Amino acid sequence: MAYDDLRDWIKALERAGELRRVRTEADPILEITEIADRVSKSRDKHGDVGGKALLFENVKGYPGAQLLINQFGSARRMRLALEVDALDEIAGRIRGFMDVKSPQGFLDKMKMLPMLAEVGKLFPKTVTTGPCKEVIKRDNFSLLDFPILQCWPKDAGRFITLPCVITRDPKTGKRNVGMYRMQIYDERTTGMHWQRQKVAAEHYRDRLRETQSGASLKVDLMARSSGGAMLAAGERPSGRMDVAVAIGTDPALTFSAIVPAPPEVEEFIIAGFLRQKPMELVKCETVDLEVPANAEIVLEGYVNLDELRTEGPFGDHTGFYSLEDEYPVFHVTCVTHRKDPIYATTVVGKPPQEDAWMGKAVERIVLPLMKLTIPELVDVNLPIEGVFHNLMIVSIRKSYPGQARKVMNAIWSLGQAMFTKCIIVVDEDVDVQDVADVTLKALNNIDPERDIQFTLGPVDSLDHSARLANYGSKMGIDATRKWTTEGFGRPWPDEIVMDAKTRAIVDGKWRALAKELGME
């Protein structure tokens, strides 16, 4: 059964022994980050990394406040959040939807009814009110009333790090829920870190286009920097763009905000799919948007289309500080929240951190979707230390010469995968989840000059090594076995593998041998 809200999720964490209540006073300025960082990198008695979820109940300067962090910070908690025994279960459900064929007769149509009923569960429904409306503040509010973290010493200030930022496509009316950090400027304004390739940034550009005539618009929209916009002389856009921010949502929606879904699919629907229960939404008080009815905190407001402000630096998931840049400014017009709201947040930095396990869940869930475009794909691994856009290892079922290079280019054409700096392609018998096996096979299989290709294109805004902001080089490595039809004329050697008969003989003796050898 789906978690109703963040509080329901916290109860589940506690029942599972996955939550620790922290009653020692801790400062939201740097100190909570240091505690969470140590916990996220700790190992339990089984050797698993991630520690426990932490509920701080004695936040310095915020009497009575509660702060939740590291809620997704292990493989087990990620499965618990999505209510599955294995993340591949979700991939299986996705494949089930994609395998539907057109019904050929009455019986086929009848067989489809259960699936159609399940699809009906995905769509959100609007309700008249909800817990997020228990307290409504149109005046006399301050963002500093919440225990917002400053994570790292050189951060530009406090940042909201786990927001569900809601915008609406001005062309289609579809809503988007994205996760973009928000630097606190003062009691009522924040930065809005809309990197140029993100969906909300496209909504912003579309609103800019609406304010200018097609003939006079000479704009490299949001390209003066990652967030900026260059207008022709004398041009200045006017108008606002409505934005709402939900903090402290149920785990399915929080996770959905980072899933790289097609813009046509609302994250509210993805959350409904994950939780198998529709999201309940309520209308905002001051802007034309809907927000999760059970959210702990909701910020309503707007960005001006003609206003940019310096945002950053910020200690990011790459393990380095992302540099300051120009981004839109979010003006808060109303704050609504539950009584005694729980502030949900996260820390990013050198891996492993909480976001690592969220990223690994995305890896499993998007694999079936990647296979739609790349059917020869067998498996994918985004190693945590590769911070998800620096390295992707893929195995393929190779059928023709040059196929590994075709796969590299296909990956670079897929949404957020276009940012992947390095792609390693191996054969289907290589376990991409075993980095030691990949290292052995890949380094044995490549001739560097022949098998490495470089290309230029868009790179992640956080890539500080790129020659230009958002633009640089990427590398693909063809680590598959080489065929004569690929110009390889020498024999390809067999891999060393013990014969099955000998292995079976030793298997029968192994229990006694292990005891004798001290390997029990």
Q: Hey, which residues are catalytic here?
A: 316
- From CA 506, how far away is CA 162, in angstroms rounded? 52
- From CA 278, how far away is CA 130, in angstroms rounded? 15
- From CA 274, how far away is CA 251, in angstroms rounded? 10
Computed on alpha carbons and rounded to an integer, the radius of gyration of the chain in Å comes to: 25
Please report where in the chains the tokens 């140590």 appear, as a residue.
38
Distance in angstroms between the alpha carbons of the first and the last residue of the chain? 41
Beta carbons within 10 angstroms of residue 449's beta carbon = 6
Q: What one-character DSSP code corresponds to residue 26? A: B
CA 515 to each of CA 504, 506, 520: distance values in angstroms, whole numbers, following the listed order:
18, 14, 6
Cβ(369)–Cβ(333) under 8 Å?
A: no
Q: Which two tokens stand for residue 261?
A: 């879904």
CA 214 to chain CA mean position, Å: 35
- From CA 435, how far away is CA 393, in angstroms rounded? 9
Sign, Cα dihedral of 423, 428, 432, 435: negative
Spell out the residues 6+ positions from residue 440 whose beta carbon is closer than 8 angstroms to its own. none
- From CA 372, how far away is CA 364, in angstroms rounded? 14
